[in-house]
Amino acid sequence: MSSNALLSPTLLARLERLRLQARETPSLRGGSRRTRQLGSSIEFAEYRPYMPGDDLRHLDWRAYARLQRLFLKRFMDERDALLYLCVDISQSMAFGGKLQLARQLAAALGYLALAGEDRVEALLFSKKVTGRTPRLSGKASAYRLFDSLQNVHARETGEKGSLSWLVQGGVPREPGIVVLLSDFLFADGYEDALRRLQAARHAVVVVQILSAEELNPTFAGDLHLIDSETGIGRDVSISPHVVQSYKRAVAEYTATLQDHCRRRGLHYVLLSANDSVEDAVFRRLLPTGVVSG
């Protein structure tokens, strides 16, 4: 595997001891999730096309003889999970290190999934999906995920982040685990998009990443503030009263998002962009049951 600037070798070794383990939610009941006891079930589940990195021992050669295409035969306890990593690259994510943590966390979750024989697809979005990886399988394909994420930069189009692409037919068809990595500063909301993901039987993990300044601003006085996504500036006078009002508004917004996720049975994690990726995985995500180890 090629080296990468997102995750250290020490962290990669720790990640290999973890597994995707999203708890059963209304969005996954009746869906598929592979256990780790490969080959113990005799109940046939499905065929799926062979992908580079798959274990050749699971190829169905009879199907190949008939169809001249490679398929894997999967049983009830062998069906792998499909992880969708959705990374917000709108301009606001460039502020305060938010995108860097989102890239690192996507790389970490993708790596532990691939090391655990699950499949991974990464999607980059602002107002619409602007890029995606092919569906990856096998630990050897992790370098493709790392390369894709290392080259990600926030868009400089003035385009605000949005989940409207999910509402407009962008919900992945095959049920899996959808991880949304974003600051969730969406003018058009998030409720409908999350509802549609659940309706398609996805387990949904909402990871809200805010900068340290957004969570606890330290600036004061007369300032000219510029919206990072629209480029529109505004002169403001920042008093202690304004700072306290702002903090209350941020706390209310994050609490509302967290409560919405809780009521719908979704996983929610709030991170500061100053958090390390190690803390994000082992101190924040691990207790939620999204991963286990």
Residue 65 and residue 138 share a domain: no
Identify the band that residue 35 occupies on the pLDDT scale cut at 50, 70 and 90.
very low
Per-residue confidence (pLDDT) for residue 2, from 0 to 100: 45
Per-residue confidence (pLDDT) for residue 61, from 0 to 100: 85
3 state SS of 64: helix
Per-residue confidence (pLDDT) for residue 143, from 0 to 100: 94
Do 240 and 178 meet the contact criterion of CB atoms below 8 Å apart? no
Identify the band that residue 162 occupies on the pLDDT scale cut at 50, 70 and 90.
confident
Residue 105 and residue 240 share a domain: yes
Identify the band that residue 232 occupies on the pLDDT scale cut at 50, 70 and 90.
confident
Residue 190 lies in a domain: yes
Residue 96 and residue 69 share a domain: no
Whether the per-residue pLDDT at 210 is higher than 80: the answer is yes
3 state SS of 272: strand
The CATH number assigned to the domain holding 164 equals 3.40.50.410
Per-residue confidence (pLDDT) for residue 65, from 0 to 100: 84
CA torsion angle for 154, 267, 190, 125 (degrees, to 10)? 30
Residue 95 and residue 60 share a domain: no
Residue 149 and residue 257 share a domain: yes
Residue 26 lies in a domain: no
Do 203 and 288 meet the contact criterion of CB atoms below 8 Å apart? no
Residue 37 lies in a domain: no
Residue 30 lies in a domain: no
Residue 218 and residue 159 share a domain: yes
Residue in this structure with the two tokens 């407009």, named with its chain if needed = 168
Residue 50 and residue 178 share a domain: no
Round the CA-based radius of gyration of the chain to a whole number and report it: 21
Q: What is the mean pLDDT of residues 192-203?
A: 94
Residue 192 and residue 139 share a domain: yes
Total domain count, the chain: 2
Per-residue confidence (pLDDT) for residue 27, from 0 to 100: 38
Residue 135 and residue 48 share a domain: no
Residue 90 and residue 104 share a domain: yes
* Domain range for 256: 9-21+80-292
Residue 130 and residue 246 share a domain: yes
Return d(Cα 178, Cα 56) in angstroms, integer. 28
Residue 148 and residue 209 share a domain: yes
Q: What is the mean pLDDT of residues 83-97?
A: 94
Q: Among the three residues 53, 75, 97, which one is the final residue of a domain in this structure?
A: 75
* Residue among 18, 2, 1, 25 nearest 200 (CA): 25
Residue 57 lies in a domain: yes
* Residue among 80, 115, 103, 108 nearest 282 (CA): 108
